[in-house]
Structure 1
């Protein structure tokens, strides 16, 4: 029997303002942001009992409840930065920071020993002037050169190749976070200053090697072909990272003659942006999944990291904006989740839809097969000034549950037991929501709200406060 929606509270979305300038083909991340911060909706125990009573005798409730919300500390100069992505490792949350308020917010570390009271214990990777640190991945590695917990941090210039900022440079910072409260810098993989930097990245291991997969949008274009959008870096010795291999979408046989600058003149007659936005790999680092915007998610066999093999890619209907932003894997790596960040659905010949999620069968990685497209029934309070208010952003998967960050929609929880028929089963939307990232850690879910900091959410009957707006299905 299909479940029916039961909306417990109405999301009260505050007004948001965005500022900043970026190339029209870039994603959200190149833009600055200043958020009007408001108070969260808080329910008394009596009010919660009234809400719970409306669920009648339901036994199977899936929801997300706010156990804690804490803003990151201001910088030493008193500036309040905004958060970007979120990651967790061994009971600590790691939050990246955005370009807003001058950037250089670094990575913020929170002790989650008590999930209802996260404590900020360290800041690191903020030493390169005029840069921002969106993405951080932390893994336990054991190489001939380093044993412990390694953090890889993306570094991007706020103003690419600016002559007035000679000390600004992009790349990947590497830190020892075995003691999360006392991070130690190990090394830096520096990119050509003509490249903005490393936008997103993924840290993984192959045996006793540690490698970083890097996304550097338009590296090929900015450097006249000297650098590439997708690079694989050996960081087994974090003090001396080494490039193993690089690739650019212009190398695909089907498209090289149809590129001009930022744009691809696609077979459907449309001029489409193509660049490497992000990359992930499976747990065993056998395959890489590269989000190449309107070229789709490109799949590589990376078992030999110095000689990867192109396998295939996802494709779009002529009326779809591609906008392959991020990816996640499910069902033992046989299912690919692809989120598409479409903030502006207008344009001749395109569907009038904001970004949504597509799910593929990739048992045959040379031929991804579309299983379903997931579109939420989120409602929003108008008007919006945020460019990215209504689009999906990042995906994470735990078991048969998909978690999606949705900017003004907060966090959406989806049952993908049957990937061909995904079903929304929960939602968390704080007031003035601007949720960037989501991460599933142990018994709770972490969300990074650009303007409000770290959110710790519990699932189902887990303990925790019920602040924020929650949609429940029964």
Structure 2
């Protein structure tokens, strides 16, 4: 009976296209549907900011909505910036199929949408896009990888996985290949593209692959894309290799040593700058750390863990301090789950100089995470992290964008928040002296970090 209920709830995750982002956020996971709720707070464009750095002169310089195609309005997912262009994935509004939008950012205060691509697979949505320069015998140029997820696995024409495109000319993206998953799997949720010693690899997080295929596929895959026309899977991670997991994992639920049944699936994957370390956000199993310095001989190193009263929900990760510090964001959207602390998702910071033994240095909580009086809402949980230098940037749905000074990772200090009325931020990235943010309802937002005052 439990498996039947679980399958029903997971299937519901992929049917968000019938809801607008003003009603539902993107990750309805673990069978919990969450309404956003009204935002009635008195919101300021640029609040006063305090801290060791002065970011009080942030200024919104652009707010560019996505173009409509055939009268259809899509909404944004994540944002990625590369070599003067911004790439915005799209979510599920109005049936998905919004593809990836490319914005010319030569003048960041006047971004121009110049192309749309990766929209050719029916019944899918395209959350994540990463672009890197690649030079192999099979391909030379700018390579884009795009996650593809099915809205309805019952649609015979839909399929999940990731697409590969040549975006050397951003005005004219050219399709190269498709890494296609088993039809039973919703698809690739988040991914990352890394170039290691000249060879490109994709790290793909494929939630519930293990569950839906009964172990035939795994939730994480490392794929060699040296020839983008013929991507090759070279490694998959199986949580069962961990002694504490092996016999207590059924492909989704884990009977953890703390006596609780916890959800386990791979939500996100990324690497360090050299492509030597993989970080897998495995929800209540924590952040998995793999040594992929030899991609054909991957080694498990360690993982983060949670106290018995803390919901896991390891959602995304990034690195700081030359790869010695791990930032882990946790998307907890039900703050009153029985047996756990009353709190929305907050950020944890770890010392991983010894990756086999991550040591928690601190937590960073906004003023939103303990506000549980209004019931369940995505607005109060943290979402995606980015680091530039000693500043951590966090997207926080309706909570806006946060800037955190992590010069001392043991004492993170909030130094900025941007919370315009009606915003609902999915992702954030940095381009020169500008902060780029994907506002689900309002398109691409561009902030000037220092306007010269």
Q: Report matched runs for 1:107-186 at 5 Å.
A: 107-160=100-153, 162=154, 165-186=155-176
Distance in 1 (alpha carbons) for counterparts of 2:105 and 2:371 = 33
Q: Offset of 1:260 from its aligned partner?
A: 3.2
Query: Could you say what secondary structure the match of 1:260 adopts?
Result: coil
Distance in 1 (alpha carbons) for counterparts of 2:273 and 2:201 = 13
Q: Does 1:423 align with 2:416?
A: no
**Greater relative contact order, per chain length (Cα 8 Å cut-off, separation 6+):** 1
Alpha carbons of 1:121 and 1:37: their partners in 2 closer, same or farther (altered >3 Å)?
farther
**Structure-2 residue corresponding to 1:328:** 318
Distance in 2 (alpha carbons) for counterparts of 1:186 and 1:384 = 48
Deviates more, 1:137-146 or 1:62-71: 62-71
**Structure-2 residue corresponding to 1:197:** 187
TM-score, normalised with respect to structure 2: 0.89
Give the root-mean-square deviation of aligned CA atoms.
Answer: 2.9
Q: Residues 88-113 of structure 1, C-alpha deviation per residue, up to 9 Å, x if partnerless?
A: 01111000000121000000001111
CA contact (8 A) 2:36 2:378 kept: no
CA contact (8 A) 1:16 1:35 kept: no
Q: Residues 235-285 of structure 1, C-alpha deviation per residue, up to 9 Å, x if partnerless?
A: 111011111111122332221211235211111111110000001101111
Q: Select 2:428's aligned residue among 433, 438, 441.
A: 438
Alpha carbons of 1:289 and 1:88: their partners in 2 closer, same or farther (altered >3 Å)?
same
Q: Select 2:59's aligned residue among 65, 73, 76.
A: 65
Alpha carbons of 1:21 and 1:119: their partners in 2 closer, same or farther (altered >3 Å)?
closer
Q: Does 1:101 align with 2:106?
A: no
Q: Residues 126-171 of structure 1, C-alpha deviation per residue, up to 9 Å, x if partnerless?
A: 00000000000001111111111100000000012x1xx2111001
Alpha carbons of 1:23 and 1:95: their partners in 2 closer, same or farther (altered >3 Å)?
closer
Q: Offset of 1:380 from its aligned partner?
A: 11
Q: Does 1:288 align with 2:275?
A: no
CA contact (8 A) 1:144 1:208 kept: no
Q: Offset of 1:172 from its aligned partner?
A: 0.8
Q: Residues 180-209 of structure 1, C-alpha deviation per residue, up to 9 Å, x if partnerless?
A: 111010111111100000011000111221
Q: Select 2:68's aligned residue among 53, 59, 74.
A: 74
Distance in 2 (alpha carbons) for counterparts of 1:311 and 1:382 = 36
Distance in 1 (alpha carbons) for counterparts of 2:305 and 2:260 = 14
Distance in 2 (alpha carbons) for counterparts of 1:229 and 1:16 = 26
**Structure-2 residue corresponding to 1:472:** none
CA contact (8 A) 2:77 2:426 kept: yes
Distance in 1 (alpha carbons) for counterparts of 2:307 and 2:243 = 20
Q: Report matched runs for 1:25-40 at 5 Å.
A: 25=30
Query: Could you say what secondary structure the match of 1:389 adopts?
Result: helix
Distance in 2 (alpha carbons) for counterparts of 1:17 and 1:130 = 21
Q: Does 1:208 align with 2:198?
A: yes
Q: Residues 335-369 of structure 1, C-alpha deviation per residue, up to 9 Å, x if partnerless?
A: 00000000111122211111000000000000000
Q: Residues 418-459 of structure 1, C-alpha deviation per residue, up to 9 Å, x if partnerless?
A: 000000000111111210000111111110011111001111
Query: Could you say what secondary structure the match of 1:440 adopts?
Result: strand
CA contact (8 A) 2:345 2:380 kept: yes
CA contact (8 A) 1:249 1:275 kept: no
Alpha carbons of 1:190 and 1:145: their partners in 2 closer, same or farther (altered >3 Å)?
same
Q: Does 1:267 align with 2:257?
A: yes
Q: Select 1:313's aligned residue among 297, 303, 309.
A: 303
**Structure-2 residue corresponding to 1:357:** 347
Q: Residues 25-71 of structure 1, C-alpha deviation per residue, up to 9 Å, x if partnerless?
A: 1698xx9x999999x9898xxxx9xx99x99xx99521332111111
**Corresponding residue pairs, total:** 432
Query: Could you say what secondary structure the match of 2:379 adopts?
Result: coil
Q: Residues 289-333 of structure 1, C-alpha deviation per residue, up to 9 Å, x if partnerless?
A: 000000000000001112200000001111100100000100000
Distance in 1 (alpha carbons) for counterparts of 2:267 and 2:413 = 27
TM-score, normalised with respect to structure 1: 0.85
Deviates more, 1:345-354 or 1:169-178: 345-354
Query: Could you say what secondary structure the match of 1:220 adopts?
Result: helix
CA contact (8 A) 1:16 1:432 kept: no
Alpha carbons of 1:358 and 1:20: their partners in 2 closer, same or farther (altered >3 Å)?
closer
CA contact (8 A) 1:35 1:451 kept: no
Deviates more, 1:411-420 or 1:107-116: 107-116
Alpha carbons of 1:229 and 1:381: their partners in 2 closer, same or farther (altered >3 Å)?
closer
